[in-house]
A and B are shown apart, each in its own frame.
Chain A
């Protein structure tokens, strides 16, 4: 095993383990903190895939903004921090079987897919993926429309959130 693979397995274990803790922890704030660790693991995965920009964007947006928003929401809502109710319901065996089945299916499909074994070739010298992304985002024949729509979508999200959160009067 190469060092990268060892790091990959370690980080994956941390990511999945903390994701499991998110759904099993009783304390809501602690669950949010586990979620942060899980999201951080994803950021490390982005680094291992050599997309540093997505890694830092993951940390800034998901940990720096969304997790903070969640923690605020939890802390500002009284009496939901400790939920004494049961964590599963009667259909959990079916859900477990389905999840395992889908996992097995994915493993089976990836095993049989020859493209999964292809090693990515390194970037040619002088090629900056970040710069290419920047150009692609505002080029009319590439991602200009999605880029501008993303902006309008965010505007819509902001207005919607304001209306839902603020429309008391």
Chain B
């Protein structure tokens, strides 16, 4: 089984080499003449005001939160799907029950207005 992962392991090592090579070539070929005006942050030509760390909407966080719970649940379902042939009907229904509990969470989030972008 480790032999199956050998290819992926080598892929992890070798795949980044292509883009790294593509970044090294311009270092040799391309001109390099930075000046303060050129390296300025581009915000539509207007000079940047203040810090980049402005306060963004905290709602992005809520969606990440709901996603996290769903993600964990879905990952659990994959072994269940793989073992489908060995399961009795009862096992399948239990798995679906697992999903339905998740749906309760979704409905709750919905009713609470978490899924609303205001």
A contacts, CB < 8 Å to B: 4, 47-48, 50, 52-53, 57, 60-61, 64-66, 68-69, 72-73, 75-76, 78-79, 81, 123, 128, 130-135, 137-140, 144, 147-148, 150-152, 154-155, 157-159, 161-162, 165-166
Complex CA–CA separation, A161 to B114 (angstroms) = 11
Q: Is B105 in contact with A133, judged by CB distance below 8 angstroms?
A: no
Complex CA–CA separation, A128 to B65 (angstroms) = 33
Task: With A72-B61, A147-B98, A166-B112 as known contacts, state yes or no: A61 contacts B83, CB within 8 Å.
Answer: no
CB neighbours of A130 from chain B (8 A)? 79, 82-83
Total count of chain B residues near the partner, CB < 8 A: 49
CB neighbours of B53 from chain A (8 A)? 75, 78-79, 81
Say whether chain B's binding surface is mostly helix, strand, loop, or mixed: helix
Q: Is B86 in contact with A131, judged by CB distance below 8 angstroms?
A: yes
- Return the contact of A69 from the options B58, B61, B90, B108 (Cβ within 8 A): B61
What are 22 A-B pairs with beta-carbon distances under 8 A? A4-B2, A47-B2, A48-B2, A57-B75, A61-B68, A61-B71, A61-B72, A69-B64, A72-B60, A75-B53, A76-B55, A78-B53, A78-B54, A131-B86, A133-B83, A137-B79, A138-B80, A138-B91, A148-B101, A155-B104, A161-B65, A162-B108
Task: With A148-B98, A151-B101, A158-B105 as known contacts, state yes or no: A134 contacts B56, CB within 8 Å.
Answer: no
Shortest 4 CB-CB distances between A and B: which pairs? A134-B83, A134-B79, A138-B91, A65-B68
Nearest B residue to A79, CB-CB: B53
Complex CA–CA separation, A55 to B93 (angstroms) = 28
Complex CA–CA separation, A73 to B76 (angstroms) = 26
